[in-house]
Amino acid sequence: MMKRILFTLCMWGAIASFAKAQGDTEAALLLDLKKARADYEVASQKYKNDSKLYEEKALSVNDFNRSKNELLSKEVDYQKLILKLISQQSYITVERAVKYQNERGNRKVKITLTSALEGNEEYLNQFQEHFDVFTPEMRSGKIYNIYVSLVDNESKTIIGSPYEFRVPAIELGKSADADFELLKDAEDLTVSLNYNNRKDEKNIYLKKDASMNQIDITSMQFSQEADLSSKASYDITLERFSTSDDVYRLEVIDLPRQITYDFTDGGSKVTQIKFAQGVNVKKLSLQVYLPDRDDEQVVIDQPVKFRVEAVTASGGVKAGSEQLEIIPRGKGKIEVRANNLYHETTTGKQVTMDVVVRNGGSRRLDNIKVSAEKPLGWEISIVPDIIRSLEPEKEATLKVTITPPKEGGVGAQEVKIKTEAMADNRKVDTEDKTVRIQVNAATSIIGTLALILLLIAFIGGIVWFGMKLSKK
């Protein structure tokens, strides 16, 4: 009897402690447990009394069986609530959450889970007389079927692969690991745990672990195209996977000497970096400058592969690297020139001039079309008006004939020579030339001859008159 009283006091002490920890949510369960315990004890006492009466032939078989079944029913109800109470006490803690890289460079996260049932074994033993209905999980102290997921804090979507990791069981005081590959890079995330019909979420800042590389270097624009004599910009992200405070030197390996580069941080050139305390990610920009012309090492349309490396400044040890590439593209450029862009003519009289079109770029020009903007009533002929192709540094000469109208006005006029071309299916910037033409009035031949004869006669008259005066 004393043992039962001690058991009851111990049990209610545990229940009171549990109620305080769990709050109002568990109050109904604790009251139900108290009522089920009382109903069970009443049924147990009645069954004992009826057993004596049955032995003395003072109770029928039906009444005795009814009393026995009532006891079993109340015991099952009581035991169900005990199991529910104990299962709600079991919980899992996240002991570690480590972000690391495997040998392939994939970002991964290892979650270490620990059963938090240490110290509850004594509490569990208080219900030993009812162990016949305890599940194997409760007898062993194991927590079975823990499902783990990694959830992005912003989008609330799963960012770990597998989407759900199943841990078969964790024994009392023991640990188990759940290993994920990150589908989206993150510094912190939510670890979602689902077990014993409960869901638990913990917002975790990931710890870094030095693995294959101390520094992970990535660039989303790992492959870029750029015209010769221009540059390409790469956004570089460096993430530290160690707690070292080393200074790292930045280097670019395998670039031809004709191609130069700069690392910049907020517009300032840098050659070394150092991570501040608590900062594990730095963002830089890499500028790669292409030469004006291609050669044996810089070949148009052929990728030039190179590596960005972070090397410890103290020991010269490679801490991380990233493979990048740049594809040089040729650029077509039209140059138009003429020996003389000013001409004088008369109405109706044509002007003929040579115009030279030159490819001053580094890629072949295709379908060069030459046209002209002309004043109203003027006629212009360009031969040829289309040049099918023109290789770099080559030129072609065009014959341009400009004819003002016979009945047109006199004065200065402008004719604009325009060009269009394609290079590598891209339009080429064109260079237009303006020809200025002074148009004068036309004079007849007869009028001109009469004017000359009149002038001769006038000069002759002056000479004759002069001779007469000299004789006198």
Better-scored residue on pLDDT, 448 or 236: 236
> Are 348 and 397 members of one domain?
yes
Q: Pick from 175, 192, 208: which residue ends a domain?
A: 208
pLDDT of residue 1: 39
Q: What is the pLDDT of residues 320-364, one digit of tens each?
A: 899 999 999 988 889 999 989 999 998 889 999 999 999 988 889
9 pLDDT exceeds 90?
no
- Tens of pLDDT, residues 262-305: 999 988 999 999 888 778 889 999 999 999 888 899 999 999 99
pLDDT one-digit tens code per residue, 45-78: 999 998 988 888 888 989 889 999 998 998 888 8
Our count of domains for the chain comes to 4
**What integer is the mean pLDDT of 446-451?**
68
- Residue 165 sits in a domain whose CATH number is 2.60.40.10
Question: What is the C-alpha to C-alpha distance for residues 411 and 312, in angstroms, rounded to an integer?
Answer: 76
Residues 319 and 411 both lie in one domain: no
Please, which pLDDT band fits residue 12 given cuts at 50, 70 and 90?
very low
- pLDDT band for 19, please (50, 70, 90 cuts): very low
Q: Is the pTM of this model over 0.75?
A: no
* One domain for residues 106 and 16: no
Classify residue 152: in a domain, yes or no. Answer: yes
Lowest mean pLDDT among 3-17, 18-32, 68-82, 97-111: 3-17
Question: Does residue 469 sit within a domain?
Answer: no
Q: Which structural domain range is residue 63 located in?
A: 2-89
Mean pLDDT of 167-188: 89
pLDDT of 216 > 90? The answer is no
Q: Give the pLDDT score at 135.
A: 55
Q: Does 416 have pLDDT greater than 80?
A: yes
pLDDT-derived band at 6 (thresholds 50, 70, 90) equals very low
Please report whether residue 467 resides in a domain.
Answer: no
Whether 359 is in a domain gets the answer yes
pLDDT tens across 180-211, in order? 999 998 889 999 999 888 889 999 988 877 55
